Chain A
Amino acid sequence: MKKQPKQESGCRRSMLMVCGFNFYDIFVTFFCVLFGLICFYPLWYCVVASVMPYDEYIKGGLMLWFKGFDFQYYIQIFHTKVYTNSLVISVLKTVLATGLSLMVTSTMAYAVSKVHIKGMRVINALVVFNLFFAGGLVPTYLLYKGLHLIGTFWVMVLPGALNITYFIIMRNYFSFSVSKDLEEAAMIDGCNEVGIFFRIIMPLSRGMIAAVGLFIAVINWNDYYSYMMFISNKTKLQPFSWVLHRMLTDASMMNQIRNGAVNLGFTLPPPMALRMATIICATLPIMIVYPFIQPYFTSGMTLGAVKE
């Protein structure tokens, strides 16, 4: 009596499998597509709205596809000195901070991965300690003030030179994923520690460096807190992410851009359309970088996934 339903069930499953029909696969595919659309649509909306002609935009409604192209918002943006200046600052800040952070973090991680050297474990513990216990805003401010960083461009670059999260990842990578034999072979061939790091370890770690580099670059590109708290009234140093933030929250900034648009001969632009164009401008540079490091990025992301 009890076996009967099992047989029927088993039979049904096998028939469905024969037909290639699988509810689980359908659910997973449907869920993934839906989730993908939910993630993609806001960005797509930004793109569509940012190039939508004024007459079409003010009709409102759901914007699924282009109803013409008008790049007036982008023209307005790039005719505004605040925007162009902040873009330069952001690029400069991101390049310098990322380069510096990769250099400092990787060299330190490599050194600390050599646990046989006396004191490295202590240094490691002291660095990791800071991951869990930060000084707080006032001590941080005082430190920067003592270092004469307050109000300077360098306060957006130097404090992030050692990224502790990626320090741990890099240290583990150097400890467990790079063959010690290669280092010994290089040493036998007359290479010193610095040479080994730059000639052997770094080329072998390209995937990891690319992945970490991208993450650090994104952090630096999006960072406006350091400007907001430690510079603030020097508008020549404001990064693009801060301008974007002001576009979303500060009416005076929005008015500045909109009035500038009128001076350029455009109809007073809808604030939301301007915001969309600004979001695209803020997103595009970092998105452009992505394809160039895609080959390394994929391999870097899967590093350490397989244990041998």
Chain B
Amino acid sequence: MKKFRSALCLLLAVMMLAVCFTGCSKKTATSSSAASASASAAQSTSASTASSSAASSSSAANAQDYASMDNVNIRFAQFGNSLDDADGYANDPIRAQIEKDLNITVEYDTGTDGFDDRMQTELYTGSGPDLFPTWGETDKIAKYIEDGLVTNIGDIINASPDRYPTLYKIINSAEYKAYNKLYTGDENTTYAIYSVAAFAEPSFAGVSVYNQSILDEVNGGKVPATVDEFMTYCEAAGKAGYVGWWPRNDKLTNWAEIDAELALPQGTSIQAPSAAGTGTVLSGELGTDSEKWTITATSDASKAVVKQLAELYKTGGLDANIGVKGDFDDAYADFGAGKLGAVNFGFGYPGQFRDFYNAAWASVKTDASPDDLTVGQALTSDGNYGPIYDTGTWINSHYFIPTSCTYPDRVLDLVEYIASSKGQDLLQNCTDGQFRTDQGSDYWKAIDGAYGYGDGRCKYCWFSYMFSGTEYYVDFTNNDWWTAVSNPTDFSSNWATETDNQLVQKARDTVSAYVDKVHIVLPSYYNMIALPSEATDIISKLSDTTNEYLAQFIGGQLDVDASWADYVKAYQDAGAADLETMINEAVATARTNYATK
């Protein structure tokens, strides 16, 4: 027995030693360009195989003669859709059209919880979908390339420009190459399709929607226009037995709406900083050496805002279930039941008001009318609006083809098709970019039932944010890549009902009165900002600190005056000053490298 135990111990020790040295044989890349180079080397075999395959397919099949190519099964993954309706899936006319046009079989894959983990596991085990997205994380693309997991699609596309004319045009544009450089260190190396989000109309957060009858009852029907008026309204609603305001703060982690509604007009930001314009306040002039972003979460002005919130909470002006409400549905239900006076749901663009009205109000009120709800105004304080900064465009996701895919050329046929006018027309119910009115609702019913979000964003939710992160029509035929993705076309009003159009117009009219004063467009080089990896840890710590302290300050568990110093210290200890430096340095670097491009 003793001998056996000794042998077992020895075996275990040897195994542990072997495990310890498993990673030693592989040299770690020291820079992104080195990573790119090694990845290129690792990819060379598969890429050249794919390229030759693409080229041979191209010549043999005369570029677009898909009928003569082998029918392959392409698994396409997209986050957040549903496959519950088997009949809808089987009778999906758009999928059928794509399959017929390309001589392929399309298999859809989706999920929410665990989706990203599963995608990654499948990728690392050589079982990944043939086309799958990530959330556009810089470190992920670098890691995938370094590990030789994703296909260099640039090599395949550039080898067959006749076969992939739209993609060839896209990946060889100056802006696309700039993103290549940002992600891979080499502007001529393309591993991903970059999905860019851009709203068709200016967008910003921090505007409430009001229940008009409560507004009439407690505020004489007057829509609050200043922070003070808003506070007065919320408190009056609380005293009248309603809940004044639910600021879309689910699970006490989303401070953006509170920030935009109350803090920014007062010249500060209470949310945890994560980037230029998020939890940071600008001084100096944009686009010049004088621009500087300052973290203000622990400033005196932020302290005053937190005190306002705590007071509001005490008087019933702020939803007592703040942080308890699990998701938007519960707040929708409360609003529909007439309990909430004002709700923030990110009414940054008019379509969101329409969606909110339909989901929270019309669905539970048989006699609902658009006049029942009022879109609020962006609030002012001392005559100042709270500026909302964004570039108007941002990278939404990256789509990859794994190296385990044996026919990347055929997958790129699909991507080329989706990028083409024909593909965009098919997905968006258009002919040459013009909305079709001859399709009956029955045609769409199956798709809406099976896959549509049902909130009016798009008709067909597969491939919907492959190029446009906001799921709109993009015209690559008449535009270069950047122009197309940053100026998408929203067709939603074309197939909307009369009431829906009325709702959108109502919101558009209200928003247009102040949008130019609130929404400040950042120079495009802000899209190219890359924070160092150490920033991630600091941001995470600061976010935890904000969630912990602000929740207790507002809920009354901590006295703001007595414990504010602890909050400030926690911020300092977490590295807020370092993060501020990193953000400003990253902005300066991006300005230097990309400002003129």
Contact = CB atoms under 8 A, between A and B. Distances in A.
Whether A associates with B in a native complex is: yes
Interface of A: 58, 60, 81-82, 121-122, 125, 137-138, 141-142, 145, 150, 225, 228-229, 232-233, 235-236, 245-246, 248-256, 259, 262, 267-268, 270-272
A245 B113 contact: yes
Interface stretch (B118-126, B379-387, B519-527): B118-126
Given A248-B326, A252-B112, 6 more contacts: A141-B121, A228-B114, A233-B111, A252-B82, A271-B327, A271-B329
Contacts of B115: 232
A232 B127 contact: no
B512 interface: no
Given A60-B339, A141-B125, A141-B127, A249 B117 contact: no
Contact of B4 (A121, A250, A270): A121
Q: Is the interface of A mostly helix, strand, loop or mixed?
A: helix
Contacts of A249: 112-113
Interface in B316-369: 326-330, 332-334, 336-337, 339, 363-364
B561 interface: no
Contacts of B327: 251, 271
Contact of B328 (A58, A251, A272): A251
A211 to B, nearest CB: 31
A251 to B, nearest CB: 7
B589 interface: no
15 contacts: A58-B333, A60-B334, A60-B339, A82-B84, A141-B122, A145-B127, A246-B112, A250-B112, A251-B328, A252-B82, A252-B112, A253-B82, A268-B363, A270-B333, A272-B330
A254 B329 contact: yes
A106 B121 CA distance: 33
Nearest to A58: B337
B84 A150 contact: no
Contacts of B334: 60
B221 interface: no
A104 B95 CA distance: 45
Contact of B127 (A121, A137, A150, A245): A150
Given A121-B4, A125-B8, A256-B84, A271 B112 contact: no
A272 B115 CA distance: 24
Given A233-B83, A252-B81, A271-B333, A142 B125 contact: yes
Interface string B431-443: 0000000000000
Nearest to A139: B125
Contacts of B4: 121-122, 125
A62 to B, nearest CB: 13
B453 to A, nearest CB: 7
B24 interface: no
Interface string B61-98: 00000000000000000001111101000000000000
B109 interface: yes
A228 B82 contact: no
A136 to B, nearest CB: 10
B340 to A, nearest CB: 12
Nearest to A245: B113
A255 B454 contact: yes
Contacts of B339: 58, 60
A229 B114 contact: yes
Count chain B CB atoms within 10 A of each CB in A122, A249, A270 and give the residue with the most.
Answer: A270
Count chain A CB atoms within 10 A of each CB in B108, B112, B363 and give the residue with the most.
Answer: B112
Contact of A145 (B113, B125, B364): B125
A93 B73 CA distance: 30
B493 interface: no
A236 B89 CA distance: 13
A146 to B, nearest CB: 10
B111 A228 contact: yes
Nearest to A262: B363
A270 B327 CA distance: 12
Interface string B1-21: 100100010000000000000
A196 B130 CA distance: 54
A156 B127 CA distance: 19
A58 B364 CA distance: 12
Contacts of B82: 252-253, 256
7 tightest Cβ-Cβ pairs between the two chains A and B: A271-B329, A58-B337, A228-B114, A233-B109, A270-B333, A268-B363, A250-B112
Contacts of B1: 121
B285 to A, nearest CB: 42
B110 interface: yes
Contact of A272 (B83, B122, B333): B333
Contacts of B332: 271
Contacts of A145: 125, 127
Contacts of A81: 84
A280 to B, nearest CB: 18
A77 to B, nearest CB: 14
A138 B333 contact: no
Count chain A CB atoms within 10 A of each CB in B84, B114, B118, B121 and give the residue with the most.
Answer: B84
A267 B113 contact: no
A235 B121 contact: no
Given A121-B4, A145-B127, A138 B121 contact: yes
Nearest to A144: B125
Contact of A229 (B84, B121, B453): B121
Nearest to A151: B127
B120 to A, nearest CB: 9
Nearest to A256: B84
Contacts of A228: 111, 113-114, 118
Given A58-B333, A251-B329, A232 B109 contact: yes
Contacts of A256: 82, 84
B451 to A, nearest CB: 9
B360 to A, nearest CB: 10
Contacts of B337: 58
A249 B8 CA distance: 46
Contacts of B453: 252
Contacts of B326: 248, 272
Given A138-B124, A229-B121, A271 B330 contact: yes
A54 to B, nearest CB: 10
Nearest to B111: A232
Contacts of B108: 233
A143 B336 CA distance: 50
Nearest to B124: A138
A268 B364 contact: yes
Contact of A232 (B118, B336, B454): B118
A269 to B, nearest CB: 9
A45 B328 CA distance: 22
Contact of B84 (A138, A235, A271): A235
Interface in B566-587: none
Contacts of B113: 228, 245-246, 249-250
Nearest to B112: A250
Contacts of B364: 267-268
A204 B334 CA distance: 57
Interface string B443-473: 0000000000110000000000000000000
Interface in B111-163: 111-115, 117-118, 121-122, 124-125, 127
Contacts of A270: 330, 333
A257 B287 CA distance: 50
A124 B118 CA distance: 33
A228 B328 CA distance: 24
